[in-house]
Amino acid sequence: MPLGERAGDKSDSRYCGVETEFNEDMPLALSSNLSSGFDFLLCPLVNGSQLSALSIESLAQSALLPFAGSDLVLTPSQWSSHVVGKVSSWIDLDSDDELLRLDSETTLKQEIAWASHLSLQACLLPRPPGPSCANYARCVNQLLQGLNNMQLWLRVPLDKSDEDAMDGLSNHVNDTWEWWNSFRLLCEHHSQLSIALDVLSSLPSGNSLGRWFGEPIRAAIIHTNSFLTNARGYPCLSKRHQKLMDGFFNHSVQWTSQMREVFGDELHLQLCCVGIARNPLRPYLDYVGYLYQRMDPLSEQERFEIGYRDFLQAPLQPLMDNLEAQTYETFEKDTMKYSQYQRAVSKALFDRVPDEKASTITTVLMVVGAGRGPLVRASLQAAEATGRKLKVYAVEKNPNAIVTLHSLVKLEGWEKVVTIVSCDMRRWDAPEKADILVSELLGSFGDNELSPECLDGAQRFLKPDGISIPSSYTSFIQPVTASKLYKDVKSHKDIVHFETAYVVKLHSVARLCPSQPVFTFTHPDHSTKKSNQRYRKLRFEIPSDTGSVMVHGFAGYFDATLYKDVHLGIEPSTATPNMFSWFAIFFPLRTPICVPPGSPLELQFWRCCGSTKVWYEWCVTSPCQSSIHNPGGRSYWVGL
């Protein structure tokens, strides 16, 4: 039974399981826990105590698995939907004892084969002994090569010594993220290798916790001895644990309760014994369900965006391609964007025309890239609100959108006010100069949809003292851990996809430090030697208490000044609320960069311009050297 209902939330975080020991009566164990409200069992599939006593020879000679129950005790759908397997915890594939090491390898292969035979969705691997786990990783990597769709969850305790953070030095033994990182590097970031985090009673720093949200966490196992007792004697969690759980709920992480020898508080035990056959973990489940249900429901914007989370999309080619009706429809629903444009036009009209001349002066406003008319509408609404007279030229190159514009003008009775121009703004010969030039040519990275080039071409029909809306925009970039995005790019098995920038609704990512400005463009630009080529060297300092981090790429944003104090943008610290026209842009790295604590991360970034295209190039130069991505625009470019 899911933890509760949140409007629009159908993620895996609604489900909570329970970790149990081996049980020969699987039907009874499953039914009793499902009837208590849990959704699945995390349990050994074999009797580990018997298995560890068997020798390699006896295993090799046995054609059957005497330590495992029949697959017939549960239906295939029960195995698949309600059981997560658990590999025997005693195995040690990096042991100095050769017999134990070989015995462990045989056991691992047999148990994973049995879990695969049962069509389980996932199987839990024991925690690695530390960062030195090469043979363990080798054996798991071998299994991953021939595995069906089953996921392997590596058990990792959520731990990091505070002493490591104090001196800013990496301690590979105490920082369990290092264990995970070493393991996944040896397994080449395999898409079927994920994490099950053991949440303990003490937690590392907030920055250290934050890096995990970009990793492939599929489950979090919370120990009962991590709970406190509230005033009424019921289990509860610290504020930091609650915040962590909220974060995992938002990132589709399933929760599993684990009963330890130290089972919470004696008072919790008394509460558990109320009622007949009361599951001793039910009070903990009730509390986790309470935390889930008290979360705010997903907003309308979040429900709209949920299908786009961590989904890579190719950026628009606004000059080469004509937008389709569905794309226009989506953008036109963004009322916040057009509200900001209307505010900007209103302020510009007030500045251009004083009150005493409002009835005699007609302001010439040109919407370049008018689409299906939302900016025309916003501009006319601004004129009505300010009491100013307006003459509008709607310039649009898409012949299909022109059809809609003509219908809109006729429907709204704008024939005397709006002139429709079917032409590329860079080639139009305007009959008069404009007082105000309005455009919405911004991309996720500000200039990546060629707003500078388009507005440079349109600037010739703006009066010398004319106003451009937007008046300026700046791109921003920040390093991120984004394991899912990296694996999705890697799945294409070519360089082209690693040298392409993607539009993506970032979700399962860890933003490792604040973003920094990259390129700024201002309009109108009256300089005599203007060039839209840019180069920037950036140096990022990741907080030392974070520990080591893996950088899979860089997230890009923009912030624009429409006019004076009217701003529009998606840069996280200043993002315009309730706006969904733009997602972030993602620049991947062909080889992820591991950054140790205290080491700066240096990024070199170029905006290059040719006669027929514009493209970006990027590389990391510290703490190690990457290749230069997309040289000459060989993989990704925007056509002029």
pLDDT in tens, 442-481: 999 999 999 999 999 899 999 999 999 999 999 999 999 9
* Residue 416 one-letter amino acid: K
Q: Tell whether 295 is in a known binding site.
A: no
Q: Are 391 and 414 in contact (CB under 8 A)?
A: no
Q: Are 399 and 369 in contact (CB under 8 A)?
A: no
* Domain 12-298 fold: TIM Barrel (3.20.20)
**The CATH number of domain 472-639, selected from 3.65.10.10, 2.70.160.11, 2.30.30.280, 3.40.50.150:** 2.70.160.11
Residue with the two structure tokens 């589709």: 252
Residue 369: pLDDT band with limits 50, 70, 90 = very high
40: helix, strand or coil: strand
pLDDT at position 320, please? 79
pLDDT at position 163, please? 52
pLDDT at position 7, please? 62
Residue 1 in this model has a pLDDT that exceeds 70: no
Question: Could you tell me which residues come within 8 angstroms of residue 294 by beta carbon, excluding any fewer than 6 positions away?
Answer: none
pLDDT at position 327, please? 87
Asked, as a colleague might, if the bond just before 318 is cis with ω within 30 of 0, I would say: no
Looking at 98-112, 171-185, 483-497, 523-537, which range is the least confident one? Answer: 171-185
Mean pLDDT, residues 505-530? 93
Output the average pLDDT for the chain: 89
59-63, 65-69, 151-155, 259-263 — most confident range: 151-155
pLDDT at position 260, please? 43
Q: Tell me how far apart the alpha carbons of residues 548 and 577 are, in angstroms, rounded to a whole number.
A: 32
User: Cα 563 vs. chain centroid, distance in angstroms?
Assistant: 31
Question: Could you tell me which residues come within 8 angstroms of residue 195 by beta carbon, excluding any fewer than 6 positions away?
Answer: 153, 154, 156, 180, 212, 215, 216, 217, 218, 219
Output 536 or 330, whichever has higher pLDDT: 536
Q: Tell me how far apart the alpha carbons of residues 343 and 45 are, in angstroms, rounded to a whole number.
A: 64
Look up residue 310 and give its DSSP letter.
Answer: T
pLDDT at position 420, please? 97
Q: What percent of the chain has pLDDT over 70?
A: 90
Q: Tell whether 424 is in a known binding site.
A: yes
Residue 47 in this model has a pLDDT that exceeds 50: yes
Q: Tell whether 425 is in a known binding site.
A: yes
CA 275, 279, 280, 285 torsion: positive or negative?
A: negative
504-516: b or e for each residue (b if 16 or more CB lie within 10 Å)? bbbbbbbbbbebe
pLDDT at position 159, please? 83
Residue 49: pLDDT band with limits 50, 70, 90 = low
Which H helix or E strand runs over 282? helix 282-293
541-555: b or e for each residue (b if 16 or more CB lie within 10 Å)? ebbbbbbbbbbbbbb
Cβ neighbours of 132 (radius 10 Å): 13
* Residue 269 one-letter amino acid: L
Residue 514: pLDDT band with limits 50, 70, 90 = very high
Question: Could you tell me which residues come within 8 angstroms of residue 277 by beta carbon, excluding any fewer than 6 positions away?
Answer: 32
Point out the residues that are catalytic.
Answer: 440, 449
Give me the phi and psi of 511, to 5 degrees please: -85, 115
Cβ neighbours of 615 (radius 10 Å): 22
Residue ranges covered by each domain of the chain:
12-298, 325-440, 472-639
Q: Tell me how far apart the alpha carbons of residues 153 and 168 are, in angstroms, rounded to a whole number.
A: 30
Mean pLDDT, residues 348-375? 96
pLDDT at position 56, please? 45
CA 178, 182, 188, 194 torsion: positive or negative?
A: negative
Structure tokens at 548: 């080591």
Residue 529 in this model has a pLDDT that exceeds 50: yes
The pLDDT tens digits for 231-267 are 988 899 999 999 999 999 998 898 887 654 333 344 4
Residue 6 in this model has a pLDDT that exceeds 70: no
**Span 325-440 CATH architecture:** 3-Layer(aba) Sandwich (3.40)
Q: Tell whether 429 is in a known binding site.
A: no
Residue with the two structure tokens 């934050």: 210
Q: Tell whether 337 is in a known binding site.
A: yes
Residue with the two structure tokens 């409007």: 7
Residue 177: pLDDT band with limits 50, 70, 90 = very high
Residue among 79, 458, 479, 303 at smallest CA distance from 450: 458
Question: Could you tell me which residues come within 8 angstroms of residue 47 by beta carbon, excluding any fewer than 6 positions away?
Answer: 22, 24, 67, 68
295: helix, strand or coil: coil
* Residue 279 one-letter amino acid: N
CA 202, 208, 213, 214 torsion: positive or negative?
A: negative
pLDDT at position 185, please? 96
Residue 334 in this model has a pLDDT that exceeds 80: yes
Q: Tell whether 328 is in a known binding site.
A: yes
The pLDDT tens digits for 379-430 are 999 999 999 999 999 999 999 999 999 999 999 999 999 999 999 998 899 9
